[in-house]
Chains A and B, each alone.
Chain A
Amino acid sequence: MLETLIAEDDKEVPEKGKSGDEWEPKIIAFLCNWCSYAGADLAGISRIQYPPNIRVVRVPCSARVSPYFIIKILQRGWDGVLVSGCHPGDCHYISGNLVARRRFSVLKDILEYVGVEPGRVNFSWISAAEGERFSKVVKEVVMRVKALGPAERLVKGG
């Protein structure tokens, strides 16, 4: 999946979206293996409904998500990003999510400062037991991104 983010000729990149009723945002969700991915799994097996706009990338830890991933995704024309990890204190690697929390706060502040709309880049904590919460977070993110419309800023060739 990482390769597809980087490769210049892949088919996964969304076509330039049209605003209006029929436009559906495409959002990448990085879910940590130990909590959020299991949370998404629980939502699945519990038949909890959530919007189909997200494409999930499983990562070992939220700290695995480099700022480059997020920026690259925005440059490739995806409409939004969600990064989700274990709740603080629950990290499988003890403190990965706490390091990530610092990192993401700086990245998000800088992105929003240069003018990337607040709501494009989102972060959350979802545990393995929170299938219901996973659905809620995805709905929230999709709502935010829909309100913003198709991504334009930072999109290369856009």
Chain B
Amino acid sequence: MEDLGKTMQDVARRLLEEGKVDLIVGYEKGTTPIRSTPCFIREAGDVQKLIWDPTCEANLTKYLLDRDERIGVVAKGCDSRSIVVCLAEGQIDRDRVTIIGVPCQGVINRKKIEAELDKQEVVEATVNDEEIKVRGEGFEKVLPTTNYLCDSCLSCRHRNPVIYDFLVGEKVPEVEDANDFAEVEELESRSSEDRWDYFTEELGSCIRCYACRNVCPMCYCKECFVDETMPQWFGKTDDLSDTMIFHIVRAYHLAGRCVDCGACSRACPMEINLRALRKKAEKIVKERFDYEAGTDVEEAPVLGTFKQDDSQEYIIK
């Protein structure tokens, strides 16, 4: 996808030269193969650093929060939805942000490639939407990109940005019938006991590093509920009860806000299945309130509003 990278650079250069933005936030090649890293460009001369390929996984919305500069930001489908949520919640000033939208066909989950290569070290890699060529000491492989995408991308229904000022490249066809709740449905079909066992097993390995929270563009609170001390609601230990509660409350806080960009799953060092929780929160608001996060800037945040005829089947008759 060399050409998209070029187009992106042209847009960025123009924005900087015309003085429309002070800063461009995009992706550049990482220091290790199959990896990109966020890059921050202030000079038009530096725009050739910008790249676009399936390694561009980070959700850059996080870098728009709490900034005074005018920022041009590269946004995939999911990233653009998280920008919409932050706009709707008044966290980002639309006038200060220029969104360079880019249609996306999924980003790579490096852990899946690592598993495939069985700990062999990759020295060099080239990546595009069709294939990943990896080369290391004594081996060379060509892997089809679609087999190594993030779980969120495999059932993505918003590949094109929902909001943008510039669109880089052509829109890609949306997969409307993707069932992104398949895993949640499977879990729902199990007994309460089974689910408890499943989640205690998954979340039990949490080390409370808070990488999931820190990478999440929705977690912009100045003081997170787990950091509060007056009152200290919940313990900071890695006791099972405390970790379970951290993840339950985080899922609750994400209800109607999470856009399933997958940043938390990729950030998790313990490879916890965080998606099973956040997708449930998404499913609840979809089924109960017919609401999908990050599709409409004008719509009120789902838990900040109500309808007279909201479901109340759970209320004791």
Beta-carbon contact of A105 and B192 below 8 Å: no
Chain B interface, >50% SS class: helix
A-chain residues with CB within 8 Å of residue B119 when the two chains form the complex: none
Q: Which residue of A lies closest to B311 (CB)?
A: A105
Closest CB of chain B to A156's CB: distance in Å?
4
CA distance A118 to B196 in the complex (A): 12
Given A68-B225, A98-B308, A101-B306: A113 and B241 interface contact (C-beta under 8 Å): no
The count of A-to-B residue pairs whose CB atoms sit within 8 angstroms is: 118
Beta-carbon contact of B241 and A88 below 8 Å: no
The winner among A103, A108, A116, A156 for most chain B CB atoms within 10 A is A156
Query: Which of A111, A118, A124, A157 has a CB less than 8 Å from the CB of B316?
Result: A124
Beta-carbon contact of B284 and A137 below 8 Å: no
A107-118, CB under 8 A of B: which get 1 and which 0?
Answer: 111111111111
User: Quick one: which of B201-238 are within 8 Å of A by CB?
Assistant: 225, 231-235
Query: Which of A106, A122, A137 has a CB less than 8 Å from the CB of B281?
Result: A106
Beta-carbon contact of A102 and B199 below 8 Å: no
Closest CB of chain B to A95's CB: distance in Å?
6
B234-263, CB under 8 A of A: which get 1 and which 0?
Answer: 110001011011011101100110000000
CA distance A71 to B251 in the complex (A): 13
Chain B interface size band reads 35 or more
Given A68-B249, A113-B280, A123-B314: A75 and B196 interface contact (C-beta under 8 Å): no
The winner among B187, B235, B280, B312 for most chain A CB atoms within 10 A is B312
Given A98-B310, A115-B197: A124 and B315 interface contact (C-beta under 8 Å): yes
Closest CB of chain A to B275's CB: distance in Å?
13
Q: Which residue of B lies closest to A75 (CB)?
A: B241
Q: Which residue of B lies closest to A144 (CB)?
A: B316
Query: Which of B194, B247, B315 has a CB less than 8 Å from the CB of A123?
Result: B315
Closest CB of chain A to B91's CB: distance in Å?
21
B-chain residues with CB within 8 Å of residue A71 when the two chains form the complex: 234, 245, 248-249
A99 at the interface (CB under 8 A from B): yes
Q: Which residue of B lies closest to A95 (CB)?
A: B306
A-chain residues with CB within 8 Å of residue B188 when the two chains form the complex: 113
CA distance A95 to B233 in the complex (A): 27
Beta-carbon contact of A105 and B234 below 8 Å: no
Given A102-B303, A114-B277: A158 and B312 interface contact (C-beta under 8 Å): no
B44 at the interface (CB under 8 A from A): no
Closest CB of chain A to B58's CB: distance in Å?
27
Q: Which residue of B lies closest to A106 (CB)?
A: B255
Given A105-B311, A114-B277: A122 and B316 interface contact (C-beta under 8 Å): yes
Query: Which of B198, B199, B248, B312 has a CB less than 8 Å from the CB of A88?
Result: B312
B193 at the interface (CB under 8 A from A): yes
Please give 16 more A-B residue pairs, beta carbons under 8 A apart, in addition to A113-B187, A153-B196: A98-B307, A99-B303, A102-B303, A102-B305, A102-B306, A102-B310, A105-B314, A106-B255, A106-B288, A110-B255, A115-B200, A117-B192, A124-B315, A140-B316, A156-B239, A158-B241
User: What are 11 sample pairs from A and B whose C-beta atoms fall under 8 A apart?
Assistant: A72-B233, A98-B310, A99-B305, A102-B302, A105-B310, A106-B281, A116-B196, A118-B192, A154-B244, A156-B242, A158-B241
